[in-house]
Amino acid sequence: MAINHNPNAEKANDNLCRYTTATFYASSSTFTGAEVSEIVLTLGQSGDTIGVINTFNLDYPVDCNTTGTVQYEFKTAKSEVWFAQYRLATGGVVTAQGDFEASSTVECLRIDVLP
């Protein structure tokens, strides 16, 4: 299921498989005027938490290790659905979702999770 899968390869070697890494970040600390205290990110049907954002980047992250980002290495070349749960300082919770499509040309994809 690796992005660089070669069905004609003569020998299996898991160390050579490449998977796409998505980097999630928030470009604003407010959601329709309400302060966001944190964003919890989950993935697809499993609902596994892949990370929490509680530092906000007003600019596009410099790289995949920028403070305030959450990385997730997708283990398949298939598309996945991610969910973001915005926990507001007022006590409210807002949810959003998006699709991630792995690409053989993208090693690090930044997704702005706030509208």
Query: Tens digit of pLDDT for each residue in 23-32?
Result: 888 878 888 8
* Domains along the chain with CATH numbers: 15-112 (2.60.40)
- Assess contact for 86 and 42: CB atoms under 8 A: no
Amino acid code (one letter) for 14? D
Q: What is residue 58's predicted lDDT score, i.e. its pLDDT?
A: 67
For 81-101, how does the pLDDT look when each residue is reduced to its tens digit (9 = 90+)? 889 899 999 999 998 888 877
The segment with the largest mean pLDDT, out of 3-7, 17-21, 24-28, 101-105, is 24-28
62 vs 68: CA distance, rounded Å: 11
Instruction: Give residue 39's Cα distance to chain centre.
Output: 12
Which two three-digit tokens encode residue 99? 């699709």
Strand, coil or helix: 14: helix
List pLDDT tens digits, range 40-82.
Answer: 999 887 788 989 998 887 677 777 778 888 888 776 656 788 8
Who wins on pLDDT, 4 or 55? 55
pLDDT over 70 (residue 112): no
Which pLDDT score is estimated for 71? 83
Q: How many residues does the chain have?
A: 115
pTM exceeds 0.85: no
- HSE-up of residue 6 (Cα within 13 Å, Cβ side): 10
